[in-house]
Copies of this chain bind each other. A is one copy, B any other.
């Protein structure tokens, strides 16, 4: 791109607020009381072992680039190989492991491609707010920034636990396999020197598709964890129930699932049993696998209606679109892509059976924003069990959050939305993401006040509730 001067990196205190000075002042007033409110993070992918070990983070690239598929995808999109960004090859071919400093230089050299994206916003927030750096990334400043970051990351205050405290994270939910023994969660809960709450989330997706590679192996591991045979369908159901109890005993309040579609249709036990056997025998047909998956999805809803674990639904993603990248670098490498949504018809059976059950709770997320006004908000606007999940993944951006609020508020208001989720693997980005959400919600509320659709006092109350009572209620979080 055209060369530009490299100004100092700084965060304007009014960023993301509306432009009109009066409305900007309103937004500031709405934002300030929640700017430093504790963070409830009810959905994400941070590894609990990170907090348990509390070791220094690695080099800056290993911390901020290689594990973050948001960053990877945009660098890949301009032609940088995933291997050059530090992703190890899984297919046996050898590729020289790049140096962290070289990866960092790639990021800085390509800083312009992130202009206007939320990834840029989050990275800048982290550099300034967490590390106090002031050089704007560019080819010229890459080494200086790398050195400064590397030095800071060796200090005590930049280890995971001090950051956890500094971020004011009150609750952090992880995402976990039902067969997981939750050792890290248990150790953290028992550690008298750690005061946060790190809750597991039950995600059973790996057990839903009897035609998937490795299904029977996973069933065997689950069987061992649950102490119940999973050779039969009824055994699998029992094992899942047992593991849900185990998770709940260790603080879990929610499940997560990300099915290929959202159809939930129960099968007669005998039919499920028959397909289960075919799955173990490796003779299951595509149609049988779909029927089995939709049945298990229905059964998971039924279990939630029974044990009260909040059911999160993150559907509609084409996973690992680029087969060569999948083979070489595995999953979560930046090429998961949004699919067309669909909720109203597919969820009819589950909502007819459990939609008004006060124990059952279903939070609907989407990567297809056309569903906000057409499906998700209308569903949340009738069914007491349904909540409109916050904008997710490709849509957790300042612009898309405003579109989300504009699209869902009409049909379901604020109190049937979920509160923000960060859904991140990048631990250091958590405060920037929540702050972005708070600023954007303040901006939206300020516009409603400025157009006389809301009283200032009520807007203030809503801004507060959106970061406290709402996520606590929706996800049934502990408050001590």
Q: Which residues of A contact B (CB under 8 A)?
A: 1-5, 7, 11-12, 14-20, 22-23, 73-74, 76-79, 112-118, 120-121, 136, 318, 321-325, 334-335, 337-340, 344-345, 348, 351-352, 355-356, 358, 367-370, 373-375, 377-384, 386, 394-395, 397-400, 403, 406-407, 409-416, 447-448, 450-455, 457-458, 460-462, 464-465, 469
Q: Are B351 and A384 in contact, CB atoms less than 8 angstroms apart? A: no
Question: Would A115 and B458 be within 8 Å (CB), given that A452-B16, A464-B2, A469-B2 are in contact?
Answer: yes
- How many whole Å from A34's CB to the nearest CB in chain B? 11
Report how far A358 CA is from B80 CA in the complex, Å.
11
Q: Can you spell out 19 A-B residue pairs with CB atoms less than 8 angstroms apart?
A: A7-B457, A11-B452, A17-B451, A74-B412, A74-B413, A76-B384, A79-B358, A115-B458, A115-B462, A117-B412, A121-B453, A321-B352, A335-B382, A337-B344, A368-B374, A373-B394, A373-B400, A378-B394, A397-B410
Instruction: Return chain B residues, CB-CB under 8 Å to A450.
Output: 19
- How many whole Å from A373's CB to the nearest CB in chain B? 6
Instruction: Return chain B residues, CB-CB under 8 Å to A79.
Output: 358, 384
Q: Are A457 and B5 in contact, CB atoms less than 8 angstroms apart? A: yes
Report how far A79 CA is from B407 CA in the complex, Å.
22
- How many whole Å from A365's CB to the nearest CB in chain B? 14
Question: Would A348 and B321 be within 8 Å (CB), given that A1-B415, A15-B453, A380-B77 are in contact?
Answer: yes
Instruction: Return chain B residues, CB-CB under 8 Å to A406.
Output: 399, 403
Question: Would A375 and B77 be within 8 Å (CB), given that A324-B356, A410-B400, A416-B113 are in contact?
Answer: no
- How many whole Å from A306's CB to the nearest CB in chain B? 18
Q: Are B117 and A384 in contact, CB atoms less than 8 angstroms apart? A: no
Q: Are B4 and A457 in contact, CB atoms less than 8 angstroms apart? A: yes
Report how far A370 CA is from B73 CA in the complex, Å.
21
Question: Would A4 and B114 be within 8 Å (CB), given that A16-B452, A78-B415, A344-B318 are in contact?
Answer: no
Instruction: Return chain B residues, CB-CB under 8 Å to A460.
Output: 4
